[in-house]
Amino acid sequence: MWRIDWIQWMWLILTFVCIILELLTTGIFFILFALGTLFAFIASFFSVSVTNQVVVFAAVTLLCLLFLRPFVRRWLHLDGDGSAGTVPDYIEQNIGLEAPVTEEIVAGGKGQIRIGTEIWTARAVDNRGIELGRTVRVVRIEGVTAVVELVEPQKTEEEFQ
């Protein structure tokens, strides 16, 4: 029958503390320490000395920081500050597209546009209002909001005279 010693409780508690800290932050940092504490916890069941458990913790954490963290950050599109900064390709393809305004974009506020078959929240790049039915061009995407500019209608030859 397994008996849990104080050091095993310590590793287990540290694992949960690191997981909670990771949930409170966005940098993919504390979860790597949680992996280290989890491996040390597992090592403690194999009669490994406390010193060697600390070595296992340090080695696993260091390896995760050096090799796993960069891979996970690229995979999750995280910037240096931990925020999701890189816009995925399928969203980037909307930049430059023209779209009709389906709900008036109020000055300094938001409205809605239709990009393909999707309805997007939109705001004007210059914070002015844009009426329903006008055509806009997507300048950039900020989170789930399209930042747009008004597309001026082409003037006909008669309007120039």
Asked if 149 and 136 count as a contact pair (C-beta separation under 8 A), the reply is yes
- According to the model, what pLDDT value does residue 25 have? 83
Q: Give, for 114, the enclosing helix (H) or strand (E).
A: strand 111-115
Residue 160: inside a domain = no
Structure tokens at 44: 């403690």
Structure tokens at 28: 């993919």
Residue 87: inside a domain = no
Residue 52's domain comprises 6-76
For the segment 49-78, what is each residue's pLDDT rounded down to a tens digit?
Answer: 999 999 999 999 999 999 888 888 777 766
Residue 106: inside a domain = yes
Q: Which residues of the chain have pLDDT under 50?
A: 1
Q: Cα–Cα distance between 8 and 5 in angstroms, integer? A: 5
CA 106 to chain centre: 28
Domain C-terminal end among 45, 76, 107 = 76
- Same domain, residue pair 64 and 101: no
- According to the model, what pLDDT value does residue 155 have? 59
Domain C-terminal end among 49, 76, 103 = 76
Residue 1: inside a domain = no
- Same domain, residue pair 65 and 116: no
Q: What Cα–Cα distance (Å) separates residue 37 from each residue in 4, 42, 44?
A: 15, 9, 10
Residue 155: inside a domain = no
- Same domain, residue pair 71 and 120: no
- According to the model, what pLDDT value does residue 35 have? 96
**Residue 101's CATH number:** 2.40.50.140
Residue 84: inside a domain = no
Residue 34: inside a domain = yes
- According to the model, what pLDDT value does residue 79 have? 57
Instruction: State how many domains the chain has.
Output: 2
CB neighbour burial string for 53-84, b if at least 16 within 10 angstroms, e if fewer: bbebbeebbeebbeeebeeebeeeebeeeeee
Asked if 31 and 72 count as a contact pair (C-beta separation under 8 A), the reply is no
Question: 0.85 exceeded by the pTM?
Answer: no
- According to the model, what pLDDT value does residue 70 have? 83
- According to the model, what pLDDT value does residue 1 have? 45
